[in-house]
Protein backbone atom coordinates (compact mmCIF):
# COMPACT_ATOMS: atom_id res chain seq x y z
CA UNK A 1 0.00 0.00 0.00
CA UNK A 2 1.23 3.46 -0.81
CA UNK A 3 2.52 5.34 2.23
CA UNK A 4 0.22 8.07 3.47
CA UNK A 5 1.52 11.63 3.25
CA UNK A 6 0.32 13.68 6.22
CA UNK A 7 0.68 17.41 5.63
CA UNK A 8 0.46 20.43 7.86
CA UNK A 9 -2.06 23.19 7.34
CA UNK A 10 -1.91 26.34 9.40
CA UNK A 11 -4.62 28.06 7.39
CA UNK A 12 -7.62 27.06 5.25
CA UNK A 13 -5.64 28.22 2.17
CA UNK A 14 -2.79 25.86 3.08
CA UNK A 15 -5.24 23.02 3.59
CA UNK A 16 -6.66 23.53 0.10
CA UNK A 17 -3.16 23.88 -1.38
CA UNK A 18 -2.00 20.67 0.32
CA UNK A 19 -5.05 18.72 -0.85
CA UNK A 20 -4.68 19.98 -4.42
CA UNK A 21 -0.96 19.12 -4.36
CA UNK A 22 -1.78 15.52 -3.56
CA UNK A 23 -1.79 15.19 0.21
CA UNK A 24 -3.56 12.04 1.32
CA UNK A 25 -4.17 13.62 4.70
CA UNK A 26 -3.95 17.07 6.26
CA UNK A 27 -3.55 17.85 9.95
CA UNK A 28 -4.53 21.12 11.55
CA UNK A 29 -5.76 22.59 14.80
CA UNK A 30 -8.17 25.10 16.29
CA UNK A 31 -6.97 28.67 16.78
CA UNK A 32 -6.52 28.41 20.53
CA UNK A 33 -4.43 26.90 23.30
CA UNK A 34 -5.57 23.35 22.48
CA UNK A 35 -2.98 22.75 19.78
CA UNK A 36 0.79 22.63 19.97
CA UNK A 37 1.30 25.19 17.18
CA UNK A 38 -0.73 27.97 18.76
CA UNK A 39 0.91 30.80 16.81
CA UNK A 40 -0.71 34.20 16.19
CA UNK A 41 -2.66 34.32 12.92
CA UNK A 42 -2.60 30.56 12.44
CA UNK A 43 -5.07 27.73 12.68
CA UNK A 44 -8.79 27.26 12.18
CA UNK A 45 -11.95 28.62 13.73
CA UNK A 46 -14.93 26.28 13.99
CA UNK A 47 -16.51 27.28 10.67
CA UNK A 48 -13.18 27.04 8.84
CA UNK A 49 -12.67 23.56 10.26
CA UNK A 50 -16.06 22.38 9.00
CA UNK A 51 -15.38 23.87 5.56
CA UNK A 52 -11.85 22.48 5.48
CA UNK A 53 -13.04 18.97 6.28
CA UNK A 54 -15.77 19.22 3.64
CA UNK A 55 -13.24 20.42 1.04
CA UNK A 56 -10.78 17.65 1.85
CA UNK A 57 -13.44 14.96 1.81
CA UNK A 58 -14.77 16.23 -1.52
CA UNK A 59 -11.24 15.70 -2.91
CA UNK A 60 -10.74 12.31 -1.30
CA UNK A 61 -8.39 13.52 1.45
CA UNK A 62 -8.63 13.13 5.21
CA UNK A 63 -8.34 15.70 8.00
CA UNK A 64 -6.79 15.07 11.41
CA UNK A 65 -7.30 17.61 14.18
CA UNK A 66 -4.42 18.06 16.61
CA UNK A 67 -5.63 18.74 20.14
CA UNK A 68 -2.29 17.96 21.62
CA UNK A 69 -1.44 20.35 24.41
CA UNK A 70 -2.12 19.24 27.98
CA UNK A 71 -5.44 20.61 29.29
CA UNK A 72 -5.07 23.15 32.06
CA UNK A 73 -6.35 22.17 35.49
CA UNK A 74 -9.70 23.84 36.07
CA UNK A 75 -10.22 24.59 32.37
CA UNK A 76 -10.45 21.18 30.76
CA UNK A 77 -13.76 22.05 29.12
CA UNK A 78 -11.86 24.08 26.48
CA UNK A 79 -10.06 20.92 25.34
CA UNK A 80 -13.12 18.69 25.64
CA UNK A 81 -15.10 21.13 23.51
CA UNK A 82 -12.35 21.01 20.89
CA UNK A 83 -12.71 17.22 20.68
CA UNK A 84 -16.50 17.52 20.42
CA UNK A 85 -16.21 20.19 17.71
CA UNK A 86 -13.66 18.19 15.71
CA UNK A 87 -16.03 15.24 15.79
CA UNK A 88 -18.97 17.46 14.79
CA UNK A 89 -16.93 18.93 11.91
CA UNK A 90 -16.54 15.42 10.52
CA UNK A 91 -12.79 15.16 11.08
CA UNK A 92 -11.30 11.74 10.42
CA UNK A 93 -9.34 11.63 13.68
CA UNK A 94 -8.19 13.67 16.64
CA UNK A 95 -4.52 13.69 17.62
CA UNK A 96 -4.29 13.67 21.41
CA UNK A 97 -1.52 13.45 24.01
CA UNK A 98 -3.13 13.80 27.43
CA UNK A 99 -4.41 10.60 29.09
CA UNK A 100 -7.30 12.47 30.69
CA UNK A 101 -8.39 13.86 27.33
CA UNK A 102 -7.94 10.48 25.61
CA UNK A 103 -10.16 8.99 28.30
CA UNK A 104 -12.74 11.73 27.74
CA UNK A 105 -12.67 11.22 23.95
CA UNK A 106 -12.92 7.43 24.20
CA UNK A 107 -15.92 7.67 26.52
CA UNK A 108 -17.81 10.57 24.98
CA UNK A 109 -16.91 10.49 21.29
CA UNK A 110 -15.96 6.87 20.65
CA UNK A 111 -16.85 7.15 16.96
CA UNK A 112 -13.97 9.52 16.16
CA UNK A 113 -10.65 7.82 15.60
CA UNK A 114 -7.93 8.59 18.15
CA UNK A 115 -4.31 9.09 17.21
CA UNK A 116 -1.59 9.45 19.82
CA UNK A 117 0.35 12.68 19.40
CA UNK A 118 4.13 12.84 19.32
CA UNK A 119 3.60 14.95 22.46
CA UNK A 120 2.82 11.72 24.35
CA UNK A 121 6.39 10.49 23.63
CA UNK A 122 5.31 6.84 23.37
CA UNK A 123 8.66 5.28 22.48
CA UNK A 124 8.19 1.51 22.71
CA UNK A 125 5.68 -1.19 21.80
CA UNK A 126 4.59 -1.85 25.40
CA UNK A 127 3.36 1.66 26.02
CA UNK A 128 1.89 1.99 22.52
CA UNK A 129 -0.12 -1.19 23.03
CA UNK A 130 -1.16 0.13 26.43
CA UNK A 131 -2.61 3.28 24.82
CA UNK A 132 -4.39 1.08 22.29
CA UNK A 133 -5.92 -1.21 24.92
CA UNK A 134 -6.81 1.61 27.30
CA UNK A 135 -8.06 4.32 24.94
CA UNK A 136 -8.55 2.56 21.62
CA UNK A 137 -5.72 4.47 19.95
CA UNK A 138 -5.38 3.42 16.29
CA UNK A 139 -2.23 5.30 15.30
CA UNK A 140 0.81 6.66 17.09
CA UNK A 141 3.05 9.49 15.95
CA UNK A 142 6.45 8.26 17.04
CA UNK A 143 8.76 10.50 19.06
CA UNK A 144 11.94 11.60 17.34
CA UNK A 145 14.22 9.50 19.53
CA UNK A 146 14.05 6.23 17.56
CA UNK A 147 16.27 4.71 14.89
CA UNK A 148 14.80 2.97 11.82
CA UNK A 149 15.55 -0.53 13.18
CA UNK A 150 13.85 0.43 16.45
CA UNK A 151 10.80 1.60 14.50
CA UNK A 152 10.76 -1.72 12.65
CA UNK A 153 10.90 -3.56 15.98
CA UNK A 154 7.96 -1.55 17.30
CA UNK A 155 5.89 -2.29 14.21
CA UNK A 156 6.61 -5.99 14.62
CA UNK A 157 5.03 -5.87 18.07
CA UNK A 158 1.98 -3.71 17.57
CA UNK A 159 -1.15 -3.49 15.46
CA UNK A 160 -1.25 0.28 16.01
CA UNK A 161 -0.34 2.21 12.86
CA UNK A 162 2.83 4.30 13.08
CA UNK A 163 3.35 7.76 11.66
CA UNK A 164 6.81 9.32 11.59
CA UNK A 165 8.16 12.79 10.89
CA UNK A 166 10.16 13.00 7.67
CA UNK A 167 10.57 16.69 6.97
CA UNK A 168 10.70 20.10 8.65
CA UNK A 169 11.57 21.37 12.10
CA UNK A 170 13.21 18.92 14.44
CA UNK A 171 12.78 18.72 18.19
CA UNK A 172 15.87 17.23 19.79
CA UNK A 173 14.15 16.69 23.11
CA UNK A 174 11.41 14.11 23.54
CA UNK A 175 8.35 16.18 22.75
CA UNK A 176 5.74 16.68 25.42
CA UNK A 177 8.52 16.26 27.95
CA UNK A 178 10.34 19.54 27.54
CA UNK A 179 9.90 22.70 29.58
CA UNK A 180 12.99 24.56 28.43
CA UNK A 181 10.79 27.20 26.85
CA UNK A 182 8.73 27.91 29.96
CA UNK A 183 11.87 28.00 32.09
CA UNK A 184 13.13 30.91 29.96
CA UNK A 185 9.84 32.56 28.93
CA UNK A 186 6.95 31.18 30.98
CA UNK A 187 5.31 29.73 27.85
CA UNK A 188 5.66 26.10 26.88
CA UNK A 189 4.56 23.65 24.20
CA UNK A 190 2.72 21.52 26.76
CA UNK A 191 0.68 24.27 28.37
CA UNK A 192 0.51 27.04 25.77
CA UNK A 193 1.26 25.34 22.47
CA UNK A 194 4.32 27.49 21.80
CA UNK A 195 8.09 27.01 22.03
CA UNK A 196 10.63 29.83 22.20
CA UNK A 197 7.79 32.29 21.42
CA UNK A 198 8.35 35.34 19.23
CA UNK A 199 6.82 37.51 21.98
CA UNK A 200 9.97 36.89 24.04
CA UNK A 201 12.53 37.29 21.26
CA UNK A 202 14.75 40.33 21.15
CA UNK A 203 17.57 41.17 18.71
CA UNK A 204 20.18 43.48 20.19
CA UNK A 205 23.12 45.16 18.52
CA UNK A 206 26.08 45.12 20.90
CA UNK A 207 28.86 46.88 19.03
CA UNK A 208 29.06 45.03 15.74
CA UNK A 209 27.62 41.83 17.16
CA UNK A 210 23.95 40.97 16.91
CA UNK A 211 22.57 39.11 19.92
CA UNK A 212 19.46 36.98 19.43
CA UNK A 213 17.90 36.75 22.87
CA UNK A 214 15.03 34.74 24.27
CA UNK A 215 13.52 35.71 27.61
CA UNK A 216 16.68 37.62 28.44
CA UNK A 217 19.09 34.79 27.57
CA UNK A 218 21.45 35.17 24.62
CA UNK A 219 20.84 32.19 22.34
CA UNK A 220 22.94 33.25 19.32
CA UNK A 221 25.49 35.89 18.46
CA UNK A 222 26.31 36.73 14.85
CA UNK A 223 28.23 39.44 13.04
CA UNK A 224 26.04 42.41 12.15
CA UNK A 225 25.82 41.51 8.48
CA UNK A 226 25.24 37.81 8.94
CA UNK A 227 21.71 36.41 8.94
CA UNK A 228 20.55 36.00 12.54
CA UNK A 229 18.93 32.63 13.18
CA UNK A 230 15.71 32.51 15.17
CA UNK A 231 16.61 31.85 18.83
CA UNK A 232 15.05 28.42 19.29
CA UNK A 233 16.35 27.29 22.63
CA UNK A 234 17.65 23.80 21.87
CA UNK A 235 19.37 25.00 18.66
CA UNK A 236 21.21 27.79 20.46
CA UNK A 237 24.90 28.35 20.90
CA UNK A 238 26.15 27.83 24.45
CA UNK A 239 29.31 26.99 26.34
CA UNK A 240 30.17 24.20 28.74
CA UNK A 241 33.48 22.90 30.03
CA UNK A 242 35.33 25.53 28.03
CA UNK A 243 33.75 24.39 24.77
CA UNK A 244 31.45 26.62 22.79
CA UNK A 245 28.94 25.57 20.19
CA UNK A 246 25.54 24.13 19.47
CA UNK A 247 25.67 21.83 22.47
CA UNK A 248 22.20 20.35 21.96
CA UNK A 249 21.62 20.54 18.22
CA UNK A 250 22.89 22.49 15.24
CA UNK A 251 20.44 24.80 13.51
CA UNK A 252 19.35 22.02 11.17
CA UNK A 253 16.03 20.67 10.07
CA UNK A 254 14.90 17.14 9.40
CA UNK A 255 14.97 15.63 5.96
CA UNK A 256 14.46 11.88 5.83
CA UNK A 257 13.33 11.67 2.19
CA UNK A 258 16.07 9.21 1.30
CA UNK A 259 14.99 6.95 4.17
CA UNK A 260 11.46 6.54 2.81
CA UNK A 261 12.11 3.03 1.40
CA UNK A 262 13.63 1.93 4.72
CA UNK A 263 10.74 3.42 6.65
CA UNK A 264 8.33 1.54 4.42
CA UNK A 265 10.17 -1.70 5.03
CA UNK A 266 10.05 -0.88 8.74
CA UNK A 267 6.26 -1.02 8.49
CA UNK A 268 5.53 2.68 8.82
CA UNK A 269 2.02 3.66 7.68
CA UNK A 270 2.29 7.41 7.32
CA UNK A 271 4.94 10.07 6.70
CA UNK A 272 4.42 13.34 8.49
CA UNK A 273 5.63 16.74 7.41
CA UNK A 274 6.17 19.38 10.08
CA UNK A 275 5.29 23.03 9.50
CA UNK A 276 1.85 24.37 10.21
CA UNK A 277 3.52 27.78 10.42
CA UNK A 278 4.73 27.49 6.80
CA UNK A 279 3.28 29.21 3.73
CA UNK A 280 0.88 27.41 1.44
CA UNK A 281 3.38 27.46 -1.43
CA UNK A 282 5.98 25.76 0.78
CA UNK A 283 3.42 23.19 1.88
CA UNK A 284 2.32 22.54 -1.69
CA UNK A 285 5.87 22.07 -2.90
CA UNK A 286 6.83 19.70 -0.10
CA UNK A 287 3.64 17.71 -0.61
CA UNK A 288 4.22 17.38 -4.36
CA UNK A 289 7.74 16.13 -3.76
CA UNK A 290 6.81 13.60 -1.10
CA UNK A 291 3.81 12.42 -3.07
CA UNK A 292 6.08 11.87 -6.08
CA UNK A 293 8.48 9.95 -3.87
CA UNK A 294 5.93 7.55 -2.41
CA UNK A 295 4.29 7.07 -5.82
CA UNK A 296 7.72 6.28 -7.33
CA UNK A 297 8.37 3.83 -4.54
CA UNK A 298 5.01 2.16 -5.11
CA UNK A 299 5.75 1.87 -8.84
CA UNK A 300 9.16 0.34 -8.10
CA UNK A 301 11.04 3.34 -9.47
CA UNK A 302 14.01 5.12 -7.88
CA UNK A 303 13.38 8.13 -5.65
CA UNK A 304 14.02 11.61 -7.01
CA UNK A 305 17.26 12.87 -5.42
CA UNK A 306 17.82 16.06 -3.42
CA UNK A 307 14.41 17.38 -4.28
CA UNK A 308 13.80 19.17 -1.01
CA UNK A 309 17.19 20.51 0.01
CA UNK A 310 16.48 24.11 -0.88
CA UNK A 311 13.30 24.15 1.17
CA UNK A 312 15.16 23.27 4.35
CA UNK A 313 16.05 25.85 6.98
CA UNK A 314 19.48 27.30 6.30
CA UNK A 315 20.15 24.44 3.84
CA UNK A 316 21.51 22.20 6.59
CA UNK A 317 19.56 19.00 7.15
CA UNK A 318 19.82 15.90 9.27
CA UNK A 319 18.16 12.51 9.38
CA UNK A 320 17.98 12.89 13.17
CA UNK A 321 17.57 9.85 15.37
CA UNK A 322 16.69 7.61 12.41
CA UNK A 323 20.43 7.02 12.18
CA UNK A 324 21.72 5.74 15.48
CA UNK A 325 24.92 7.80 15.48
CA UNK A 326 22.83 10.99 15.90
CA UNK A 327 22.36 10.05 19.53
Partner 1 sequence: MELTVAPNPFFWAADDWEALYQDLTAAPVERVVLGELVCSKRLPFYQDRIPKVIESLQAAGKQVVLTSLALVTLKRERKLTAQLADLGLEVEVNDLTALAQLPRDLAFSVGPLVNVYNESTLRWLAARGATRISLPPELPLASVAVLARAGADCGVAVEVWGHGRVPLAISGRCYHARLHGRTKDNCQFACEEDADGLEVRTLEDQPFLTMNGVQTLSDRYACADYQIETLQGAGVSALRLSPQSSGFPDLCGLYRDRIEGRLAMGELAQRLQHKAPGLRLSDGFLTGESGADWSGTSR
Which parts of this chain interact with partner 1 (CB under 8 A)? Answer: 70-74, 76, 97-101, 103-104, 121-127, 129-130, 143-146, 150, 153, 172-174, 176-180, 182-186, 188, 190-191, 211, 215, 217-221, 234, 236-241, 243-244, 247-249, 321, 324-327
Q: What does the alpha-carbon distance between residue 138 and residue 213 come to, in Å, rounded to a whole number?
A: 41
CB 92 within 8 A of CB 23: no
Residues in the chain: 327
Nearer to partner 1, 10 or 71 (CB): 71
Nearer to partner 1, 24 or 144 (CB): 144
Nearer to partner 1, 98 or 274 (CB): 98
- Output the smallest distance, CB 88 to partner 1, in A: 20
- Output the smallest distance, CB 180 to partner 1, in A: 5
Q: What is residue 234's three-state secondary structure?
A: helix
Nearer to partner 1, 40 or 245 (CB): 245
Nearer to partner 1, 90 or 251 (CB): 251
- Output the smallest distance, CB 203 to partner 1, in A: 14
- Output the smallest distance, CB 42 to partner 1, in A: 23
CB 175 within 8 A of CB 260: no
* Cα Rg, the chain, nearest whole Å: 19
Q: E strands, 47-107, where?
A: 62-67, 93-96
**C-alpha angle 198-317-152 in degrees, rounded to nearest 5:** 110
Dihedral (CA of 84, 85, 88, 91) sign: negative
- Output the smallest distance, CB 218 to partner 1, in A: 5
Amino acid sequence: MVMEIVCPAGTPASLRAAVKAGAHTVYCGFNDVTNARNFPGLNFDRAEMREGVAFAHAHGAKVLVAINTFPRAGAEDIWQRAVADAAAAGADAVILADPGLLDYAARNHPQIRRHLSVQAAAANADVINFYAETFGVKRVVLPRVLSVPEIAAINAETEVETEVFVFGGLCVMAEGRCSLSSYATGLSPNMNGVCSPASHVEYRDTGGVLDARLGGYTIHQVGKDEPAPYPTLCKGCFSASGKQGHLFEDPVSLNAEQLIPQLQRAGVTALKIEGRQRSRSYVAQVVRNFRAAVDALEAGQPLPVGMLARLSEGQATTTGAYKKTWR
